Structures are given as C-alpha cells and as structure tokens.
C-alpha cells in the first residue's frame, strides 16, 4: 500500500464520528443530562411522573380534576447534534468532512447559559406551590416530557378541564409580608405586596388572621387589590396576619406572619356636643360604647382648631371626666372639635367625628341678666347669690311664677318627691339657673327656693305642696314653660305621722281644682350613694303607685343627685325594692344623673378649674333632662279632675287597696327574712359564746444545779456532771476531769481547760395552765351580738310599718265596702276577707240567678274574692309573725 492510500485511510479515520474521544464525550454529556434530570426529579418527591404523552392525556381528562399543573421537560426529545453527525457520516452523500468537532462542541439544552439557575427556580416554585395546595382535591400535579421548541428546557403547563390553556404558566410566588397602614378598635387596614414572579396569574388573595393566643387562623378571600380592611376584630387585642396569592389552580405559599398588631383599646367617644361662650367652648361627650376587655379610660384628649386651619391643638382632661373647657378662644370664630380616649399603656382610641361650634360675640343677653335687676341679694360673694322675686299666689296652694303666663305656649309639668337631705332643693335651684341661662363666669347665682331655719320659705304647715312656674320668655334655654310641683321632704324627725300628712297633702293636691290638669312625669329624688332604699322611701313610692295606679310604671323617673362618673349604687337598691317603673336599655330603672356641687361654688380664678368642670357636668345633665322632657311626649300622662274624682269609686279604691296589700306582703316577707337572720345570729351567738379555754402545758424553767456542771465551749459537750471538785472558773485546771497539762480528759477535742466554763443553772420543763382564745369564734360571737341588736331594731321598725299598713288597709276596706254597696248593691262586712269561701258561694248564686246586668256584679265579686285572698295573707300572716 502506497503512502497516498495510507494517508487517505488515516484521514477517513480522523474524520469518523466513531473516534474514542468523540464517543467518550457523547457519553459524558448523556450522563450529565441524566444526572441533571435526576437531581430535578429528586427535588419533586410525591409528584406523579407521567412518562408518555398518552399517559398525560389520560391524567388530565379525569372528571374529578379541574386543573392539572404539569412540570414539563420540553427538550428531552430533541435530536442530539452528535447523533445527527453520525447519521450523516453513515450516509456519505450528506457527510461534510471536518464538522465533527463543531457538532461535538455544540451546547446541549441543559448546558445553555442560565439554564441551571432557571431550572432550580422552576423546581422550587413548583414544589412550593404543590405543598401549599396538598388539600386541594380539584388540582393535580404531574411531571412529564413534551417537546416544545418555544420553551427551551423546562416549562410549566396548565390544563383546565382537560384542555391545555397555558404552555408557560407562571406560578404565583410567596408574597412579601403585608404592611399595616391603619387600624381602629375593630378594623386593621393592610397593604398587600405580591412577588413579581407570577404576578400576572393572580386572581385574588387569601388573607388569614388570628388572635396571638389562638391556634386557628380565620381566612378571608378578597379581590386583587392593593389594600384591604379586616373587620370584626375585638378591641385591645393583638392579631397576626398572613396571606397568599390565589390563581386559578390554587394559592401560593403563605407570606411570612406579621408581627403582632394590637387593635385600638376602644371605639371613638360618642360624637361630642359643644356649649359656646365668648372666649371658650365647653365640650361634652359620652364614654365610648365599645371598650376592650381590661381597658380603663384614664383621660380624654380634646383636639380643636380653627375651621379650615391645618394646625390642631389639643387639651387633655384630668381623669376620665366626659367634658372639657377649651379656653383662650377668639370671639365669633368657628372651631372644629373632636375627642379621643386615652387608655394608659393600652394606647388611644381613634378620634370621634368632628363637630363645628362658633364662639359667641359681644352683647349676648340672657334671661338671667334681665331678672338680676329685680332680684334680692342674699349673699355677697364670688358669685353673689340672689333670691328671685317671683309672683306669689296663695289661694289654694302656694304658686310662685316667673314671667307672664301665655296659654299658647307649651307647658311641661313634673311632680317632684324626695326625702330630706336628698338634694331636692339644690336640684330645683340648679334647674332654675340652667333655664334662665346663668353662665359659669357670671358673678351671680339665683335661688328660687331659699331655706330659712331648715325650712323652705314657700312651705307652710297648712300647705306642704308648692307650685313653681317658669313661664317661657326669650333667652330661656328650654323652648317651653316649666311647672314644678314640689312636695316637702319626708323622713324628718316627726316620723311616720308627718310622712302620712305629706301623702295626704299630695293626694288632696291632685284631686283639687288647682289649675293643673297635666303632669308629664313623677320624679323621685334619691342620692346616688344609697345602698338600699329606706323603709320610708319604699312607703312613699308604694303610696304614689297606689295613688296613680298603672300609669305610674311608665311615668315615674328617678333623679339621682350627687353623681360622679360611675354607675350610681342606688340603681341596685331601686331594683331590689321592686318598684314598678319602666327600665332603660341596660335594664336599670329609667333615671337622670345630676351633680349640682358647683352650683353655688366659688368661681374665682383660684377655684375655677375643678369647679368649672363640675359646672359643665351639671349643665350637661340639665340639658339632657330638659331635652327629654321636651321630646318624650309619649311618656307623659294627663291627670284631669274627672279622672282623679273617679279614684273615689270602686276601681281606684281597689287599686289603692291592692297597692297596700302589696306593700303589706312586702313587709311580711321582709319581717320573715329579718326573723330568719335574727334566729341565725342567735344560734351563732349561742354556739360561739365559749370562745376561751384553759389547757395545761409544759414550759421551760431555769433550775439551779448543785455543785455545777463543767461544759466545753468548743465541743459543746458536758465534760463533768456534777462537778464536786470545788473549783472556780479561774482554776478549772484543778478539776478532776483535767490532766496535768490542763487538757480535758472527757470532751472529744481534749480541749484546754480555758475553753471550759461552769454552768450553775439548767432548763427544765414545768407544767403550767394556759388560757387560749379562739379568734374566729370570738369574732363570730361579737359580730352576731351586733347583728342581733341591729336586726332587732329593724324588725321592730318593720312590724311598726306593717301595723301602719294594716291600719291604712282597714280604712280603705271600709270605703271599698261602701262603694260596692253603692254601685253594685253588694253588701259585705268589713271582715269579708276572713271568709273567701262565702264570697265564692255568692258568685255561684249570681251565676245561677243569671239576672240581666249581673256581669258587672260578677266582675266586682271576682275582684272582691281576689282581694280577700290577698288580705287574708296579710292579716293571718301578721298573727303568725307576732307569735313567739
């Protein structure tokens, strides 16, 4: 073979693709690709691998699956450049010599620049999305390989109901943590920040929140938006938030949980009201209606500014007073005002709604200034006190009138009843000053009722009921005339006899021709601090109820004096007394709170601050009361002479009798309760009277020791007992217990004689008698003695009250029997209640007779029988109670 042929053979060999070097490189790349695919598949555990297109088609058309998310290898089926080169080499017609190195050096799809990073990101996002939707039974996840020249290497396919809808689906990534932009007592506003990857696939968001101490997350689906509000939260409660981006196939991984965020402690205070002055505004508001658990309002911040100004000023109250005087303002300027509650470490509420208020200008005149010139000076002070010079008419009942009466003007009238010391007189004067428009800074105050020697000038022994009329004039703070029927305070030192005179006077006044035919409310004045109603108060209330009948329930109101910001304790006392009155939304007897402590208080510069606040509180209380009196027409009732005269008849007499029966039964129950308590304390007294005892015990006593005892201080050891060596402390070395060197022969340490001492006395146990006192029994004994004394006095008073009620009942029974005879011809003895069975026989006889018009007689007899049964309880129970 010549050299040319050999060279040709070598050339063909060099150009062959079957060179060992080429085959080795090809196999290396194949192994690289396999390792690359394997590592990606290992990062996708628990995900179904679909090897063929047919298997994939079967998987996506399952009827119970709505969406299929496919992790697709798009380049596994593409032709390898090296294999194409071998094919061309075998087909010599298409072989191009010299291109083997070019084919071998061409990059595979997995070797493309950035492919590894892209593949890792796809795998992470796909698997995270898979884990986030494990509980989504309508979406499945698979791995497959379909050729796709438009998406090199890897792409995510999305199938919906078996149809391929997206060959390059971008899964929504874990969103960035949300930002809290605003919060209230029950709402937190959040700003959502989805990740850029997959943003175009987001349809909505799933927002979750929970209380910090809870384990259950509450979810909320919202439309794709930048901000959302989570509502319905509890005040003063810390919450955590997280959210996920939702696409058609599922939702992304939840964002990181936000740091705990606490809602505001309360809702905003109720929209404030404002009372303008020339250089100040009194702002008044009510406590927030929603307050978080454990939250206590420490004070309020009042913010104010000139209208259209951008600069807010603020002023904080001292304590949780629900009012504030904003001073230093300009005249005739409109101010905007709002209020927020400050709750100490729990933070502040959101501000209330803003209100506008214009300060007053010069020359504003009130009715008070006009009447001042006609009034009589009582006290020269700051402020001075004047007695109003009202027109007095004493025909019938004393009537004091201010201003000229106008029949066309609306009039409101109240009947005022109260115990002595309840603050009734001050309340009347406070009402008068409010109606006339007296201002805090005025240098005067008015008295309509002036006390002289503990008795009102208006009251007399013959006419205890007094009428005050404030006829409407311009400048009044109320748009109507006001009539106040004042009754003298009951419960004075004259006892029940005087109280009975008062009740009789009230009754006489109501049935008399006094020119008043309408009363809008019966107002009972009580002190805020009373823990329980006195028997006299309950007696008067029972009397009013019996006098006015069923109309009382909707017409009696309690005017509570000496109130502070807390709930008046007397409300519980009224409820416990079972007074027939209507209740408010909180279940309390309908009432109005007053504080007149600043009415005649000094208003000098040194005393202004605190007193002014109480003045504002009192003024607001008056405003609320008179506004109610003007608008709550339905709660008024008319008492005409005709209606009052009917009370002499059977129906009203029966109502009176039933009220007395109720009062009597109430006293019977109270007496029984008191008797049981008394017996219990007598038992406690008897069982605990022996609260001292004597026992023998042993006590330590110091006894002398004959000859003494040698002790070692260092070893705490008795070395010689007794010592008969006749030695002293200075020559203990001579004791027989010491050796020649002066060391002890007996103590453990063989100590020197100098560490020893002589003890002449010892301690022994001696028997001794000791007297012991049982502290608990002694306390119980003394307390029971005090209770026995108190309960005995109370029982005596209750029995006296029951006796009084019985006496009043007997008088009404006599009248009742006369009315029955006059109206229905029913003849009964005054002791008819002793024989209820006899009345039943009369009813049966009436029914059998069936005479025309006997229906009224039957109704009357039925009432008689019911009354007899009730009366029998009082009189028979009373006999039982009086037995020992």
SS (H, E, C) 159-221: EECCEEEECCCCCCCCCEEEEEEEECCCCEEEEEECCCCCHHHCCEEEEEEEECCCCCCEEEE
Share of the chain above pLDDT 90, in %: 26
Share of the chain above pLDDT 70, in %: 73
Which two tokens mark 629?
A: 């009196």
Distance, C-alpha 622 to centroid of its chain = 26
Tens of pLDDT, residues 772-795: 667 787 888 888 888 888 888 888
Torsion of CA 566, 570, 571, 575, to 10 degrees: 160
Closest CA to 552 of 522, 573, 577: 522
User: Which residues face 336 on adjacent strands?
Assistant: 305, 356
Rounded to 10 deg, the angle between the 650-687 and 775-824 helix axes is 160
Most confident of the ranges 131-145, 702-716, 803-817, 824-838: 131-145
Record: fold of 383-635: Rossmann fold (3.40.50)
**Using CB atoms within 10 A of its CB, is residue 103 exposed (0-12), middle (13-18) or buried (19+)?**
buried
705 Cβ contact partners less than 8 Å away, ≥ 6 residues apart:
722, 759, 760, 761, 762
Contact 481, 411 (CB under 8 A): yes
Contact 603, 441 (CB under 8 A): yes
Record: fold of 270-358: Immunoglobulin-like (2.60.40)
Residue 457 has pLDDT above 50, yes or no: no
Torsion of CA 87, 88, 91, 92, to 10 degrees: -150
How large is the average pLDDT for residues 173-191? 93
- Cα-based distances in Å from 265 to 300, 346, 631: 13, 6, 34
Alpha-carbon distance 229 to 542, whole Å? Answer: 56
- Cα-based distances in Å from 559 to 117, 453, 563, 565: 81, 25, 10, 15
Alpha-carbon distance 537 to 417, whole Å? Answer: 10
Higher model confidence: residue 574 or residue 2?
A: 574
How large is the average pLDDT for residues 550-557? 68
Alpha-carbon distance 430 to 233, whole Å? Answer: 44
Tens of pLDDT, residues 395-436: 667 889 998 887 766 788 888 988 888 889 999 999 999 999
pLDDT category of residue 66 using cuts at 50, 70 and 90: very high
DSSP string, 501-536: HHHHHHHHHHHS--S---B-EEEEEEETT-SS--HH
DSSP state at residue 323: E
Alpha-carbon distance 392 to 487, whole Å? Answer: 17
User: Which residues face 741 on adjacent strands?
Assistant: none
The predicted pLDDT at position 877 comes to 53
Alpha-carbon distance 779 to 545, whole Å? Answer: 44
The predicted pLDDT at position 78 comes to 61
Which two tokens mark 464?
A: 């205890």
The predicted pLDDT at position 143 comes to 94
Alpha-carbon distance 178 to 207, whole Å? Answer: 10
- For the chain, helix, strand, coil in percent to 5 are 35, 25, 40
DSSP string, 741-801: TSBBSSSTT--BGGGEEEEEEEEEEEEEEEEEE-HHHHHHHHHHHHHHHHHHHHHHHHHHH
- Cα-based distances in Å from 190 to 287, 350, 413, 559: 28, 17, 56, 48
| Three-class DSSP category at 815 | helix
**How many Cβ atoms from other residues are within 10 Å of residue 796's Cβ?**
11
DSSP state at residue 556: E
Tens of pLDDT, residues 595-639: 998 888 888 766 667 788 888 899 999 999 988 887 655 344 444
**Averaged pLDDT of the chain:** 79
Higher model confidence: residue 486 or residue 660?
A: 486
Continuous H helices in 317-423: 367-372
Contact 741, 734 (CB under 8 A): no
Higher model confidence: residue 880 or residue 578?
A: 578
Contact 294, 587 (CB under 8 A): no
Most confident of the ranges 240-254, 320-334, 388-402: 240-254
The predicted pLDDT at position 644 comes to 47
176-262 and 383-635 in the same fold = no
The structural architecture, per CATH, of the domain 176-262 is Sandwich (2.60)
Alpha-carbon distance 156 to 72, whole Å? Answer: 6
Contact 486, 428 (CB under 8 A): yes
Residue 676 has pLDDT above 90, yes or no: no
User: Maximum CA pair distance of the chain?
Assistant: 166
- Cα-based distances in Å from 506 to 313, 547, 548: 54, 9, 11
Contact 521, 629 (CB under 8 A): yes
Residue 881 has pLDDT above 80, yes or no: no
The C-alpha angle with vertex 820 and arms to 819 and 822, in degrees rounded to 5, equals 60
pLDDT category of residue 857 using cuts at 50, 70 and 90: low
Which two tokens mark 858?
A: 């039957």
Which two tokens mark 734?
A: 């001579």
Higher model confidence: residue 385 or residue 33?
A: 385
How large is the average pLDDT for residues 733-739? 83
Continuous H helices in 440-565: 496-511, 535-548
pLDDT category of residue 852 using cuts at 50, 70 and 90: very low
How large is the average pLDDT for residues 665-673? 79
Q: Which CATH number fits domain 11-166: 2.60.40, 3.40.50, 3.40.30, 3.30.450?
A: 3.40.30
User: Which residues face 556 on adjacent strands?
Assistant: 522
pLDDT category of residue 153 using cuts at 50, 70 and 90: confident
| Domain-wise residue ranges, the chain | 11-166, 176-262, 270-358, 383-635, 664-677+777-881, 692-773
Alpha-carbon distance 388 to 370, whole Å? Answer: 11
In the chain the first and final C-alpha atoms are separated, in Å, by 155
Which two tokens mark 687?
A: 């069982």
Residue 242 has pLDDT above 90, yes or no: yes
Residue 665 has pLDDT above 90, yes or no: no
Torsion sign (Cα): 617, 618, 619, 621: positive
**How many Cβ atoms from other residues are within 10 Å of residue 684's Cβ?**
18
Alpha-carbon distance 419 to 447, whole Å? Answer: 20
Alpha-carbon distance 336 to 545, whole Å? Answer: 48
């Amino acid at each position: 073979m010549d050299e040319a042929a050999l060279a040709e053979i070598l050339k063909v060999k060099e150009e062959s693709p079957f060179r060992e070097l080429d085959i080795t490189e090809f196999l290396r790349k194949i192994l690289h690709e396999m390792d690359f695919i394997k590592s990606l598949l290992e990062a996708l555990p628990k995900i179904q691998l679909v090897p063929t297109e047919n298997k994939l088609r079967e998987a996506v058309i399952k009827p119970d699956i709505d969406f299929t998310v496919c992790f697709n290898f798009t380049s596994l089926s593409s032709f390898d450049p090296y294999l194409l080169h071998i094919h061309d080499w075998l087909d010599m017609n298409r072989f191009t010599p010299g291109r083997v190195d070019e084919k071998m050096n061409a990059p595979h799809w997995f070797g493309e620049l950035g492919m590894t990073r892209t593949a890792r990101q796809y795998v992470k996002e796909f698997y995270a999305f898979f884990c986030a939707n494990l509980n989504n039974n309508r979406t499945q996840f698979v791995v497959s390989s379909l050729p796709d020249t438009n998406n090199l290497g890897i792409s995510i396919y999305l199938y919906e109901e078996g149809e391929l809808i997206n060959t390059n689906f971008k899964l929504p990534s874990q969103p960035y943590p949300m930002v809290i932009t605003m919060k209230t007592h029950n709402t937190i506003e959040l700003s959502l920040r989805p990740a850029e990857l997959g943003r175009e696939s987001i349809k909505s968001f799933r927002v979750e929140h929970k209380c910090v101490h809870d384990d259950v997350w509450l979810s909320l689906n919202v439309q794709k938006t930048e901000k959302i509000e989570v509502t319905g939260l509890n005040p003063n409660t810390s919450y955590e938030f997280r959210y996920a981006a939702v696409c058609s196939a599922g939702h992304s991984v939840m964002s990181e949980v936000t740091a705990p965020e606490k809602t505001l402690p309360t809702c905003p205070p109720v929209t404030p009201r404002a009372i303008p002055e020339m250089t100040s505004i009194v702002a008044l508001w009510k406590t927030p209606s929603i307050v978080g658990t454990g939250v206590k309002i420490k004070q309020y911040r009042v913010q104010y500014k000139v209208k259209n100004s951008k600069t807010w000023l603020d002023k904080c109250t001292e304590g949780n007073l629900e009012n504030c005087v904003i001073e230093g303002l300009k005249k005739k300027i409109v101010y905007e005002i709002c209020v927020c509650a400050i709750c100490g470490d729990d933070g502040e509420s959101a501000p209330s709604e803003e209100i506008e208020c214009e300060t007053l200008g010069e020359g504003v005149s009130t009715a008070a200034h006009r009447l001042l010139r006609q009034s009589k000076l009582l006290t020269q002070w700051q402020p001075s006190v004047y007695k109003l010079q009202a027109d007095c008419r004493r025909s019938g009942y004393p009537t004091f009138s201010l201003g000229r009466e106008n029949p066309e003007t609306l009039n409101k009238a109240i009947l005022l009843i109260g115990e002595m010391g309840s603050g009734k007189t001050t309340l009347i004067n406070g009402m008068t000053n409010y109606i006339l428009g007296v201002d805090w800074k005025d240098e005067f105050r008015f008295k309509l009722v002036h006390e002289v020697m503990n008795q009102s000038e208006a009251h007399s022994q013959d006419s205890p009921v007094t009428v005050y009329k404030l006829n409407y004039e311009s400048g009044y703070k109320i748009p109507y005339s006001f009539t106040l029927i004042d009754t003298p305070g009951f419960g004075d030192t004259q006892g029940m006899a005087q109280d009975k005179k008062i009740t009789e006077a009230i009754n006489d006044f109501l049935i008399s021709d006094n020119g008043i035919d309408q009363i809008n409310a019966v107002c009972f004045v009580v002190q805020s601090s009373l823990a329980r109603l006195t028997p006299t108060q309950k007696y008067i209330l029972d009397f009013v109820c019996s006098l006015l009948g069923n109309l009382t329930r909707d017409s009696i109101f309690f005017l509570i004096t000496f109130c502070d910001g807390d709930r008046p304790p007397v409300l519980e006392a009224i409820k416990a007394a079972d007074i027939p009155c209507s209740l408010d939304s909180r279940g309390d007897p309908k009432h109005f709170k007053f504080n007149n402590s600043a009415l005649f208080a000094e208003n000098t510069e040194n005393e202004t601050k605190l007193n002014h606040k109480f003045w504002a509180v009192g003024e607001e209380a008056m405003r609320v009361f008179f506004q109610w009196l003007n608008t709550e027409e339905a709660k008024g009732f008319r008492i005409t002479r005709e209606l009052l005269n009917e009370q002499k008849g059977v129906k009203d007499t029966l109502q009176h009798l039933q009220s007395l029966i109720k009062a009597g039964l109430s006293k019977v129950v109270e007496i029984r309760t008191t008797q049981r308590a008394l017996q219990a304390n007598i038992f406690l007294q008897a069982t605990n009277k022996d609260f001292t005892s004597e026992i023998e015990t042993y006590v330590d006593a110091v006894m002398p020791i004959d000859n003494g005892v040698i002790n070692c201080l260092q070893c705490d050891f008795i070395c010689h007992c007794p010592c008969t060596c006749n030695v002293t402390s200075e020559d203990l070395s001579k004791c027989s217990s010491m050796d020649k060197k002066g060391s002890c022969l007996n103590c453990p340490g063989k100590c020197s004689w100098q560490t020893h001492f002589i003890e002449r006395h010892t301690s022994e146990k001696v028997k001794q008698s000791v007297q012991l006192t049982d502290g608990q029994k002694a306390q119980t004994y003394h307390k029971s003695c005090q209770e026995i004394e108190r309960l005995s006095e109370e029982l005596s008073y209750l029995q006296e009250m029951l006796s009084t009620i019985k006496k009043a009942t007997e008088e009404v029974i006599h009248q009742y029997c006369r009315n029955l005879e006059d109206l229905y011809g029913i003849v009964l003895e005054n002791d008819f209640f002793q024989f209820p069975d006899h009345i039943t026989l009369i009813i049966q006889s009436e029914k059998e007779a069936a005479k025309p018009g006997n229906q009224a007689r039957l109704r009357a007899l039925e009432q008689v029988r019911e009354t007899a049964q009730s009366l029998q309880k009082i009189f028979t129970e009373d006999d039982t109670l009086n037995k020992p």
